[in-house]
Structure 1
């Protein structure tokens, strides 16, 4: 398994993998977003290859705002992680996260964080298996203002 940092030339590949994780988005939208992220010094995308076949990615960024459960800034943040089903349970996610942590450390971070939805039990188990500890559980609220009801 080979882990490489994505470049602008990998935007299509990354967008296709991301579409498997976030199917409610448009492929063009994801490709554009990942193309822009590859040029952002506060972001990194890592691709996992089995030979020349892309099998997974991690999207990572530096967060300077408060990150739940941390005490430093910036914090490396795992924004997205995906491994094709045929390659799961082979350490691919671990290698992607380890490379992302190395990148964050090179950027001056001493902490690395992530999140998942409360009902995403698979993601919770993956995070715990990758060495994350649960910092908090929250329920977020929103409401519209300034509109007649």
Structure 2
């Protein structure tokens, strides 16, 4: 198992994994988005590779604005994490989290954060097992103005 930063050569596979996580996204738009992140000082993506097959990714950012439950800035933030279903529960997600934590430390962070939808029990359970502490729950509202 290798954990490696995304390169221009692996952008397509990163985008395919991102579409698996966020199926409402459009491939071309996501590809261009990730292409812009290459070489960024405040964003990075790592891929997990098993032999020649890419099986997972994590997308990270430095957030300087308020992060719920944090008391420092910047905060390393998990923007997205995905492991193909057949590779889940093998510790790959935790390895990606560890790579993200190392990156955040190198960027001067003392806190690492993430979020999950209230209805996503699998993600919430994963975060707790990966050492995250739940700090808040939120319900968002919107009202259409006529």
Report the Cα offset of residue 28 of structure 1: 1.0
The match for 1:65 is 65
Structure 2, unaligned runs of 5 or more: none
What is the match of residue 88 of structure 1?
88
SS in 1 for 2:19: helix
Within 5 Å, give how 1:1-16 maps onto structure 2.
1-16=1-16
Q: In the comparison of the two structures, how many residue pairs are matched?
A: 146
Alignment of 1:33-44 (within 5 A): 33-44=33-44
Cα deviation digits, residues 43-65 of structure 1 (max 9, x gap): 01000000111000000000000
SS at match of 2:71: coil
Give the Cα–Cα distance (whole angstroms) in 1 for the partners of residues 30 and 3 of structure 2: 20
SS in 1 for 2:122: helix
Measure, in 2, the Cα distance between the counterparts of 1:71 and 1:144: 34
Matches of 1:144 and 1:63, distance apart in 2? 30
TM-score normalised by length of structure 2: 0.96
Give the superposition deviation at 1:144.
Answer: 4.7
TM-score when normalising by structure 1: 0.94
Structure 1 gaps of 5+ residues are none
